[in-house]
Amino acid sequence: MWPNIRRAVGCLGIPHAASSPGIVTISVGLAATQAGQDSDPAMLVGAADRALYAAKRQGRNCIRVAAVG
């Protein structure tokens, strides 16, 4: 799903002067846990945030998944 959304937004060609490709792109950071597994929501949000900033550091317009647990 996320790769399709990322591609669809890029195909819109929305101008963005501050972006190196010159158009709006999407960077995504994901974190997940197993259903029923004891997890801390703040830890998941923190992991997703770190994955998002890793995506931005690695060139933007990409998806990164956090290692959780």
How confident is the model over 7-58, as pLDDT tens digits? Answer: 899 899 999 988 877 899 999 999 988 877 777 889 999 999 999 999 999 9
CB 65 within 8 A of CB 51: yes
Report the b/e string of 43-61 with b at 16+ CB within 10 A. Answer: ebeebbeebbeebeeeeeb
On the CB side of 47, CA atoms within 13 Å amount to 15
Domain residue extents for the chain: 2-65
Alpha-carbon distance of 45 to 29, in angstroms, equals 10
Phi and psi for 9 in degrees, rounded to 5? -65, -45
Q: How confident is the model at residue 2 (pLDDT cuts 50, 70, 90)?
A: low
